[in-house]
Amino acid sequence: MRLWKKRDEVRDLVFEHLASVRSAVEAFGGATRACFVDSDRDKASEYALLTHKAEGAADDIRRNVEQAMISGALLPPSRRQILEIVEQVDTLANAAEATLDRLLVENVAVPKVTIPYILQILDVSLAIFDDVECSIRLLFEGKAAETMECVDRIEIAEGKIDHFERDALKELFALDIALASKLHVSAYLADLVKISDRAEDLSDVIALSTALQAF
């Protein structure tokens, strides 16, 4: 009974961590739209602060998961898989925070021609998190086939974002502006797609956990 209680405690912590990372990613989305749809940097900064707070909360919960693992919750193979999943989920919040830092702290001057691609990347990135959360919940429920459907959707979405990024770069480097400006925007785009890149990395871990049926 104690082992089952510990497993439930870990599961609840994993879902609590997911919720904090979702808050960070959604606040990141609000900040990005504030910049490129509303042209409101003050509003974007407010969302950036929310992103930072949610990312910090996620770090605290991740440490709680680690502590639960140290205390002996679950068997060693299960501990390893859960820690890998939580650590990978955490990178999504980190990527969201870093992307906003690039945009707002460095004050990236994004050409208008690039903005539609940024918003497309943003929309798909936010949708990816739905599949991330879904796949983890299904994994804990032992629903292997349904979990892998979510994993497949993550990989397909990541491919779409790569396509948007390539098109954005083509438009960007065709512009008659300073090379330094192009490189600055290019670095921002590279940061922007890291959320989907990290989600794809996570999907690989989830797929492996599904195959192993570790917990």
pLDDT in tens, 83-138: 899 999 999 999 999 999 999 999 999 999 999 999 999 999 999 999 999 999 99
Task: Kindly report the pTM of this predicted structure.
Answer: 0.89
Residue 1: pLDDT band with limits 50, 70, 90: very low
Q: What fold does the segment set 2-212 form as a domain?
A: Methane Monooxygenase Hydroxylase; Chain G, domain 1 (1.20.58)
In the chain, where the domains are located: 2-212
Residue 172 identity: L
Structure tokens at 99: 């992307």
What is the residue whose two structure tokens read 């990541």?
A: 158
Structure tokens at 7: 């497993």
Residue 2: pLDDT band with limits 50, 70, 90: very low
Residue-level pLDDT at 80 = 79
Structure tokens at 187: 């670095």
pLDDT at 67 over 90: no
* DSSP code of residue 193: T
**For 169-180, what is each residue's pLDDT tens digit?**
999 999 999 999
